[in-house]
Structures are given as C-alpha cells and as structure tokens.
Amino acid sequence: MRVAILGATGAVGRTMLQVLEERGFPADEVQPLASARSAGTTLRWRGRDWTVRMPGPGAFLGCELALFSAGAARSREWGPRAAAEGALVVDNSSAWRMDPAVPLVVPEVNGAALRERPLGIIANPNCATIQLVLPLAALHQAAGLTRVLVTTFQSVSGAGHRGETALDAELAGGHSPDTPFPGPIAGNVIPWIGPRGADGWNEEERKVREETRKILELPELRVAATCVRVPVRVGHSIAATVELARPLAPAAARAALQAWPGISAPDTGADPLPRDVAGTDLVQIGHLRADPDDPRVLHLWIVADNLRKGAATNAVQIAERLVEPAGGRP
Ligand SMILES: NC(=O)c1ccc[n+]([C@@H]2O[C@H](COP(=O)([O-])OP(=O)(O)OC[C@H]3O[C@@H](n4cnc5c(N)ncnc54)[C@H](OP(=O)(O)O)[C@@H]3O)[C@@H](O)[C@H]2O)c1
C-alpha cells in the first residue's frame, strides 16, 4: 500500500511518519508532499529516503490513503482531488470537521462513525478536543454529562514548527519574526488561540465546543472553553469541570476512566505533566476530585501529547480502522 502524506515536513507530518513506522502500519511506500520550500528534500522512513514533492494533478494516484496536515486551505484544495484520485483522506485540519457529510472521529469514542464517509474524507478533531472527549465519553457513560467547562494550557508545538521556533528564539534571548503568537510566549501565557470573533470567543474555543458536541453526538451539551497558549514545547493540559446528571464519587469516576480505552488514570497521587506525557499516546488523567458544593460535579486534569494522540496517532488509528475493518488496534 502507498500512503501520501501532505504536510510531511511539518510538526504533525513528521510525527505521522514516525507513528506509521512505530505501529507497523501495513504500507510499503510513502509519498511525502509539502510546499515548494521543501520540494526535492528527503525524509527518512523505514530506513529509506523518500523525496518530498509538491502536490499536483495525479499526486494521489496509486495511493490508497492520504494523511493531510498542511492547513485548512490546502485540505480544501486537495481533499476532494485526492478522493477523486482514489485515496481515502484523513485530514488533520479544521477544513472539513463540521461538515455533516464528514465523520469527525476519535476511534475510542465514535469509531463507528467511520462507516459513513460519502466524500471519502474523514476529519481528525482539534488536538485539545481529542484529549477532552475521551474522559468525557467515559464520564457520560457512567453518569450522563450535563455541562463541561474547561481551561486549556496548550503547548507551542500546537502552532506547528513556527511555534516551536518562536519559543526557542525567545528562550535564547531573541525574537522570531515569523512567530504565530500575538506577543512574547517565553515566560508568558496568552489567552488567544486563533482569531477572536465579534462575540469575544477565540477560534480554538469555538472548535472545542462544536467538535465536542459533534463527536459525543450531544448537540445541546453545554460546553465552554478558555484556551490558553503556554511556553511548553509539547503536551497540552486541560483543567476540566464536569457536571453530571447523577452524583459520581471520584473513586467510581476513576474506575470508569481507567476502564476506557486510550486513558490512563492511575490512583498514584502523582499528577500527569506535559513533560512526562510527551512522546506517549495515552490521555492521562490526574487531580481528580469532587466538587466541595455539588456531588454531581467533578474536577479533573487531562494531559496528552498534542502531536501524537492530539494529531498523528489519532489519524493513524483512524487509518488502521479503514484498512483493517475488523477494528484495527486501539
Ligand atoms: N501541531 C499540532 O499539535 C496539531 C494538532 C492537530 C492538528 N493540527 C493541524 O495539522 C496541520 C499542520 O500542523 P503542523 O503543526 O504540522 O504545522 P507545520 O509544522 O507548520 O507544518 C505545515 C506543513 O504544511 C506544509 N505546507 C505549507 N504550505 C503548503 C503548500 N502550499 N502546499 C503543500 N504543503 C504545504 C508545510 O510544508 P513546508 O515544510 O514545505 O513549508 C509543512 O509540511 C494544521 O492544519 C493544524 O491545524 C496540528
């Protein structure tokens, strides 16, 4: 099988190559695609150098699968063309996520949604949303969700290579002219991820609300997020307050979380931290406690690697289910 990777030279694209190799994905060949900046360079995969090309007519012919992580504009342009050339598209951008004809999938939560894919395009959710919906699904099954309030602490790699370069430059005492952030990020926190609408909500905050509702199939769920960029290289953290239909003791909640695929919620007393989860694939839960005033409310801390489970690993898990309809691996 041949797999095209659009955006292969980016933060997510490079991680996708790594995850495909680590998980022994049943592909023989990859076709890395990127911008003119990288065309002609090579990327290493399974001990071989693969030449990066620019996407163009015919670029996806002969590819059963295309993994996209080159931004929404490229996904809108190339998604339908790749599908027309015979590739199933798994797209990491926001381009198709809210399209009713496109499944938005976290395999451990709504893998069954993969069956209906009329456009031949499947969307990978936003990174913060992926790590949020896993514990929400477990708690919903245990006691019914009624309201979710979150504050996210999102790493600079969530803004791609430019984000990591900006932090590096500032930590070295300089400044990156190409920074994706609206102000200094080293020694700072910035409550701005994506453009702010007239209603005061940032784009990332809208994505967390809308995508969570779509994945959980709870279109009326009350969800609100405050999304914050923090000077962490890799790993997003979320402080969540979850209101349930019925009281749920922390021990029972922990058991429900621990039993859910893709989650680690050990009762060790140690809180998961982004530096520790970087390079891993589980969504890790800690600092789980009952609300002091309401037995239907829980507070928890959720951490995951945004480049892996928040992007590449989730996309490869989707791809595994597409090529191994028996379900692939968790
Ligand atoms: N970073 C995360 O944690 C994360 C998580 C979930 C989803 N995503 C989504 O994944 C996508 C990529 O994010 P990233 O963080 O990997 O960004 P990135 O590091 O900036 O990488 C962007 C990639 O897109 C390629 N590209 C840019 N313009 C192109 C063009 N005109 N034609 C073809 N390729 C082009 C780049 O190629 P060159 O190297 O040649 O410029 C590079 O390979 C975005 O849609 C993002 O929203 C990111």
pLDDT digits (tens, 9 = 90+) for 56-110: 999 999 999 999 999 999 999 999 999 999 999 999 999 999 999 999 999 999 9
CA distance 129 to 193: 14
Nearest Cα to Cα of residue 289 among 232, 325, 250, 320: 250
Two structure tokens written together for 206: 């809208």
CA 61 to the chain's CA centroid: 27
Report how far ligand 1's centroid is from the alpha carbon of 211 (Å). Answer: 20
Task: Take atom 47 of ligand 1 and give the residue whose Cα is closest.
Answer: 93
Residue spans per domain, the chain: 2-125+311-323, 128-306
Catalytic residue among 127, 140, 175, 299: 127
Distance between Cα 15 and ligand 1 center (Å): 11
Q: Can you give the pLDDT at residue 324?
A: 81
* Beta-carbon contacts of residue 152 (< 8 Å; ≥ 6 apart): 128, 204, 208, 225, 226, 227, 228, 236, 237, 238
Where residue 309 falls (left for φ over 0; alpha for ψ -120 to 50; beta otherwise) is alpha
Of ligand 1's listed atoms, the one at least distance from the Cα of 9 is 43
Does domain 128-306 fall into CATH 3.30.360.10? yes
Q: Would you say the CB of residue 157 lies under 6 angstroms from ligand 1?
A: yes
Segment holding 48, helix H or strand E:
strand 48-51
Per-residue pLDDT of 156-214, as tens digits, reads 999 999 999 999 999 999 999 999 999 999 999 999 999 999 999 999 999 999 999 99
Any atom of ligand 1 within 6 Å of the Cβ of 166: no
- Whether 146 has a pLDDT exceeding 60, the answer reads yes
Q: How far is CA 187 from CA 154, 169, 176, 193, 313, in A?
A: 14, 13, 15, 17, 30
> H helices of 97-249, where?
107-110, 127-143, 160-171, 203-216
Of the candidates 63, 175, 236, 287, the residue annotated as catalytic is: 236
Q: Which CATH class is domain 2-125+311-323?
A: alpha beta
Residue 127 near ligand 1, beta carbon < 6 Å: yes
